[in-house]
């Protein structure tokens, strides 16, 4: 450990502070105060601990760093720039501008070195828990005595706001239970948020709360005390059986004579005059802006050489590991590539119309079991609904503190943290996480689902009990608006299979996709559909297809249905046929997949000339008019459901072949 803080240390820290102040000032927008207050502890972490390779932000065994307080993004951009990532001063000067690589909040996939997208407070906290889980699981899979190839820390800087959020509490509770000893969080305890002092709303003893979660908690009176921060991080590393929270009392807007320790330092530029005063106070040249002194540059850039060396050492370890354990090494490569191994789908179940009716959630469980041994990195679980979600895989073992190679996860009743943790697992790399709950509770994890889509994180969200079809649990548990709400998320793939055959294909689509997928599954049994009148070349992978062509091949009307309502539409088709109306049944498990098809295919499934179209889905009709047109109609749910047996509910709400046929007849003008 260094004896004392040098003058160069101070100038390095002030460089971070002033880059943040200058960038926010130039953009006339942003949050200067957080980076200014947290610069010192971030400096200690990044220059004395963080093992990373700026030349290769994708080095698999790098330490992960999450800036959970994403509004302080300039802190991260400054560190990435200074330590030699492919992020120039010109990028910092474009902070928050159109097309720049330095957006208002850190975005994974856009800026090299940004591990996860943060900004919605609490999410980064939970993502980090997922990353630490991923590290532990991969280490248990691949490390052998004298051959550690997975061995890194997950660090984060978390703020008052992060720790006020429920998702952080859920994730902290989970991390405490799992004893994630390589998770180390620095708490930027500046006691200021947007409204003012945290005393307005946040007065519990955070340290004791985290101790109660089972965390190792340290308290630092002065977050600018580099030696104290360094000592605490070392102690946190030495504590291997508990996650660590290092509470650092800091000062928002540090150095700003008129803004420090006030919420004025939070969400707006300091102002030209105050930037000047701050520079004077910190002994910094007033000009030029974006100043990086030569020796400061050199000091930070030592990360480049060290990074190269660390990665080279790791590669050597990998070579030795591969020589000693060639099969494991091949598996490691396969996990990290994200590719599915040859023959992964060989054991997928198949179904024929003569098979008994089966719930799509049950088929999903069978699929999981069938691919389990082939897809060694497919893992996940449920928020305390495993028997209902059919997610527990026999022989998978349970991921627990004492069994880090288990593949069944017990997330507890913590949907939000489950989603955000899965995002962290996915962006860590090497894992294919799935998580599950009832569709109704997708609302409890919606912010995480949204971020999975924004990051294109390959998480599989399993949502069962997908409609009034769940029956007696009643309106509190019956989703109505949820399907449409999920479809409204850009880049999110939503698939609602109609039967067992479509469920197998839905899983196939999810597993071969490099982004997030929601699988929407039934509680109730569904018949295996007759496909003898299906049009060839269709299927789940195309999003919608002709499941049962109209007799004679010339449809007068089209019934478009999803999930459990497809069988209802097929029943209606028969009635219509008896009345001399030729109806085509289109199964449309996924809007997003259908939208990605060529126009010619879409027109073949939904011929523009056939305008008498009826959509049938036991959910909100909102949005269906896109496919049925203004001249079309929708049999949907326009009110909450009710508590009753599913069969009664389907009758009462009109999801019967008779009602669907009657509505279609009206449309066809008969
Ligand atoms: C979920 C969520 N709610 C609200 C916000 C808006 N917001 C951004 S920063 C902030 C206050 C944060 O205070 P703190 O975490 O203490 O950050 P500091 O003031 O120290 O920069 C809020 C409410 C957000 N980003 N995310």
| Pairwise CA distance, residues 68 & 86, whole Å | 22
Q: Give yes or no for residue 570 CB within 6 A of ligand 1.
A: no
pLDDT given for residue 668 in this prediction: 86
SS3 of the chain: helix, strand, coil, percent, to 5 = 45, 15, 45
| Pairwise CA distance, residues 570 & 530, whole Å | 9
Q: For the segment 104-149, what is each residue's pLDDT rounded down to a tens digit? A: 999 999 999 999 999 999 999 999 999 999 999 999 999 999 999 9
Q: Give yes or no for residue 92 CB within 6 A of ligand 1.
A: no
Token pair belonging to 476: 């509190």
Contacts of 209 (CB under 8 A, 6+ apart): none
φ and ψ of 45, to 5 deg = -60, -45
> Strand, coil or helix: what is 468?
helix
The answer to whether residue 3 scores a pLDDT higher than 70 is no
Q: How far is the CA of 161 from the centre of ligand 1 (A)?
A: 5
Neighbours of 609 (CB within 10 A): 6
For residues 35-64, give the mean pLDDT: 98
Atom 8, ligand 1: residue with shortest CA distance: 71
For residues 171-177, give the mean pLDDT: 98
Kind of pairing between the strands at 358-359 and 525-526: antiparallel
| Pairwise CA distance, residues 29 & 209, whole Å | 35
Q: Give yes or no for residue 90 CB within 6 A of ligand 1.
A: no
Q: How far is the CA of 155 from the centre of ligand 1 (A)?
A: 19
Question: Are 71 and 105 within 8 A, CB to CB?
Answer: yes
Nearest atom, ligand 1, residue 447 CA? 1
Atom 22, ligand 1: residue with shortest CA distance: 194
Q: Give yes or no for residue 135 CB within 6 A of ligand 1.
A: no
Q: How far is the CA of 268 from the centre of ligand 1 (A)?
A: 13
| Pairwise CA distance, residues 236 & 451, whole Å | 29
Catalytic residue among 311, 415, 549, 592: 415
- Find the farthest-apart pair of alpha carbons in the chain and give their distance in angstroms, rounded: 92
Nearest atom, ligand 1, residue 194 CA? 11
For residues 210-228, give the mean pLDDT: 98
Nearest atom, ligand 1, residue 263 CA? 19
For residues 652-668, give the mean pLDDT: 97
Q: How far is the CA of 514 from the centre of ligand 1 (A)?
A: 31
Neighbours of 668 (CB within 10 A): 17
Residue 216 CA from chain centroid, whole number: 27
Q: For the segment 434-444, what is each residue's pLDDT rounded down to a tens digit? A: 999 999 999 99
Q: How far is the CA of 193 from the centre of ligand 1 (A)?
A: 6
For residues 631-660, give the mean pLDDT: 98
Q: Give yes or no for residue 33 CB within 6 A of ligand 1.
A: yes
| Pairwise CA distance, residues 366 & 348, whole Å | 8
Question: Are 230 and 186 within 8 A, CB to CB?
Answer: no
Nearest atom, ligand 1, residue 105 CA? 25
Following DSSP, what letter does each residue of 290-329 receive, concatenated?
A: T---HHHHHHHHHHHHHHHHHHHHHHHHHHHHHHH-HHHH
Question: Are 527 and 390 within 8 A, CB to CB?
Answer: no
Measure Cα distances from 364 to 284, 515, 577 in Å.
Answer: 62, 19, 34
Percent of the chain with pLDDT over 90: 98
pTM: 0.98
Q: For the segment 415-424, what is each residue's pLDDT rounded down to a tens digit? A: 999 999 999 9
Atom 23, ligand 1: residue with shortest CA distance: 194
The answer to whether residue 669 scores a pLDDT higher than 90 is no
Q: For the segment 557-589, what is each residue's pLDDT rounded down to a tens digit? A: 999 999 999 999 999 999 999 999 999 999 999
Following DSSP, what letter does each residue of 60-121 receive, concatenated?
A: TTSPEEEESSGGGHHHHHHHHHHTT-S--HHHHHTTT-TT-SS-SS--TTTSTT--S---ST
Atom 18, ligand 1: residue with shortest CA distance: 193
Q: Give yes or no for residue 71 CB within 6 A of ligand 1.
A: yes
Task: Kindly list the strands in the beta sheet with 557-561, ordered across the sheet, starting from the edge strand earlier in the chain.
Answer: 545-548, 583-587, 557-561, 613-616, 633-635
Q: Which of 607, 577, 623 is nearest to 615 (CA)?
A: 623
Helix boundaries (H) for 165-221: 166-178, 206-213
Question: Are 127 and 424 within 8 A, CB to CB?
Answer: yes
Q: Give yes or no for residue 377 CB within 6 A of ligand 1.
A: no
**Type and span of the H or E element at 584:** strand 583-587
Q: Give yes or no for residue 35 CB within 6 A of ligand 1.
A: no
Q: How far is the CA of 35 from the centre of ligand 1 (A)?
A: 13
Nearest atom, ligand 1, residue 160 CA? 16
The answer to whether residue 293 scores a pLDDT higher than 60 is yes
Q: How far is the CA of 72 from the centre of ligand 1 (A)?
A: 9
- Reported for 85-94, long-range contacts at CB under 8 A and 24+ positions apart, including other chains, are 85/54, 85/57, 85/112, 85/113, 86/54, 86/112, 87/111, 87/112, 87/113, 89/290, 89/292, 92/19, 92/23, 92/290, 93/23, 93/26, 93/290
| Pairwise CA distance, residues 519 & 380, whole Å | 14
The answer to whether residue 644 scores a pLDDT higher than 80 is yes
Q: How far is the CA of 192 from the centre of ligand 1 (A)?
A: 10
Q: How confident is the model at residue 58 (pLDDT cuts 50, 70, 90)?
A: very high
465 Rama class: left (phi>0) / alpha (psi -120 to 50) / beta:
left
Q: Give yes or no for residue 160 CB within 6 A of ligand 1.
A: yes
| Pairwise CA distance, residues 248 & 270, whole Å | 23
Q: Give yes or no for residue 161 CB within 6 A of ligand 1.
A: yes
Q: Active site includes 415?
A: yes
Q: Give yes or no for residue 36 CB within 6 A of ligand 1.
A: no
Following DSSP, what letter does each residue of 613-665 receive, concatenated?
A: EEEE-SS--TTTHHHH-TT-EEE---S---SS-HHHHHHHTT-SHHHHHHHHH
Percent of the chain with pLDDT over 70: 99
Q: Give yes or no for residue 253 CB within 6 A of ligand 1.
A: no
Q: For the segment 581-629, what is each residue's pLDDT rounded down to a tens digit? A: 999 999 999 999 999 999 999 999 999 999 999 999 999 999 999 999 9
pLDDT given for residue 536 in this prediction: 86
| Pairwise CA distance, residues 199 & 197, whole Å | 5
Atom 19, ligand 1: residue with shortest CA distance: 193
Atom 15, ligand 1: residue with shortest CA distance: 161
| Pairwise CA distance, residues 310 & 398, whole Å | 33
| Pairwise CA distance, residues 556 & 582, whole Å | 5
For residues 459-476, give the mean pLDDT: 98
Nearest atom, ligand 1, residue 119 CA? 25
Mean of the per-residue pLDDT values of the chain: 97
Handedness of CA 483, 127, 364, 350 (dihedral sign): positive
Q: Give yes or no for residue 252 CB within 6 A of ligand 1.
A: yes
Q: How confident is the model at residue 161 (pLDDT cuts 50, 70, 90)?
A: very high
Return the best residue to mutate from 193, 261, 263 for the ligand 1 pocket (most ligand atoms within 8 A of CB).
193
Q: How far is the CA of 121 from the centre of ligand 1 (A)?
A: 6
Nearest atom, ligand 1, residue 252 CA? 20
């Amino acid at each position: 450990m260094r004896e004392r803080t040098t003058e160069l240390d101070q100038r390095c820290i002030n460089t971070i502070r002033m880059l943040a102040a200058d960038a926010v000032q130039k953009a006339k927008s942003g949050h200067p105060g957080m980076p200014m207050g947290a610069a010192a502890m971030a400096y200690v972490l990044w220059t004395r601990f963080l093992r990373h390779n700026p030349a290769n932000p994708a080095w698999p065994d790098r330490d992960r760093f999450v800036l959970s307080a994403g509004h302080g993004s300039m802190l991260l951009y400054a560190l990435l720039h200074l330590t030699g990532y492919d992020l120039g001063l010109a990028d910092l000067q474009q902070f928050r501008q159109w097309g720049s690589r330095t957006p208002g909040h850190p975005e994974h996939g856009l800026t090299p070195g940004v591990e996860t997208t943060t900004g919605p407070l609490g999410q980064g906290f939970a993502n980090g828990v997922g990353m630490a889980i991923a590290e532990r699981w991969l280490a248990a899979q691949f490390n052998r005595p004298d051959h550690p190839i997975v061995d890194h820390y997950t660090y984060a800087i978390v703020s008052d706001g992060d720790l006020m959020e429920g998702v952080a509490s859920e994730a902290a509770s989970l991390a405490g239970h799992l004893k994630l000893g390589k998770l180390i969080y620095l708490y930027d305890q500046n006691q200021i948020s947007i409204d003012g002092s945290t005393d307005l709303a946040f007065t519990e003893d955070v340290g004791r709360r985290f101790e109660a979660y089972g965390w190792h908690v340290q308290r630092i009176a002065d977050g600018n005390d580099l030696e104290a921060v360094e000592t605490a991080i070392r102690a946190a590393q030495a504590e291997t059986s508990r996650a660590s929270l290092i509470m650092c009392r800091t000062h928002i807007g540090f150095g700003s004579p008129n803004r420090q320790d006030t919420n004025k330092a939070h969400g707006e530029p300091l102002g030209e005059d105050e930037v000047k005063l701050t520079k004077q106070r910190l002994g910094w040249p007033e000009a030029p802006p974006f100043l990086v002194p030569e020796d400061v540059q050199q000091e930070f850039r030592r990360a480049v050489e060290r990074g190269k060396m660390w990665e080279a050492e790791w590669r050597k370890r990998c070579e030795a590991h591969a020589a000693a354990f060639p099969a494991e090494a091949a598996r490691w490569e396969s996990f990290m590539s994200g590719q599915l191994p040859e023959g992964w789908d060989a054991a997928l179940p198949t179904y024929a119309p003569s098979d008994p009716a089966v719930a799509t959630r049950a088929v999903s469980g069978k699929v999981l079991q069938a691919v389990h041994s082939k897809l060694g990195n497919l893992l996940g679980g449920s928020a305390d609904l495993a028997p209902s979600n059919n997610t527990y895989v026999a022989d998978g073992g349970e991921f627990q503190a004492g069994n880090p190679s288990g593949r069944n996860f017990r997330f507890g009743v913590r949907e939000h943290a489950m989603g955000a943790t899965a995002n962290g697992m996915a962006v860590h790399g090497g894992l294919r996480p799935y998580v599950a709950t009832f569709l109704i509770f997708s609302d409890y994890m919606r912010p995480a689902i949204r971020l999975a889509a924004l990051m294109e994180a390959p998480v599989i969200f399993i949502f069962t009990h997908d409609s009034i079809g769940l029956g007696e649990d009643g309106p509190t548990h019956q989703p109505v608006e949820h399907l449409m709400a999920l479809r409204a998320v850009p880049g999110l793939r939503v698939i609602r299979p109609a039967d067992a055959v479509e469920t197998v294909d839905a899983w196939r689509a999810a597993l071969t996709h490099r982004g997030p997928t929601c699988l929407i599954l039934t509680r109730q049994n569904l018949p295996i559909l007759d496909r003898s009148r299906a049009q060839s070349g269709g299927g789940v992978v195309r999003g919608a297809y002709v499941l049962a062509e109209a007799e004679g091949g010339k449809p007068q009307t089209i019934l478009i249905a999803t999930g459990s309502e497809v069988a209802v539409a097929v029943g209606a088709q028969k009635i219509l046929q008896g009345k001399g109306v030729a109806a085509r049944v289109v199964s449309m498990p996924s809007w997003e997949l259908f939208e990605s098809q060529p126009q010619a295919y879409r027109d073949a499934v939904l011929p523009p000339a056939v305008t008498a179209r009826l959509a049938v889905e036991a959910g909100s009709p909102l949005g269906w008019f896109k496919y049925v047109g203004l001249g079309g109609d929708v049999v949907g749910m326009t009110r909450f459901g009710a508590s009753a047996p599913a069969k009664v509910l389907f009758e009462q709400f009109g999801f019967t072949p008779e009602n669907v046929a009657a509505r279609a007849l009206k449309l066809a003008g008969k």
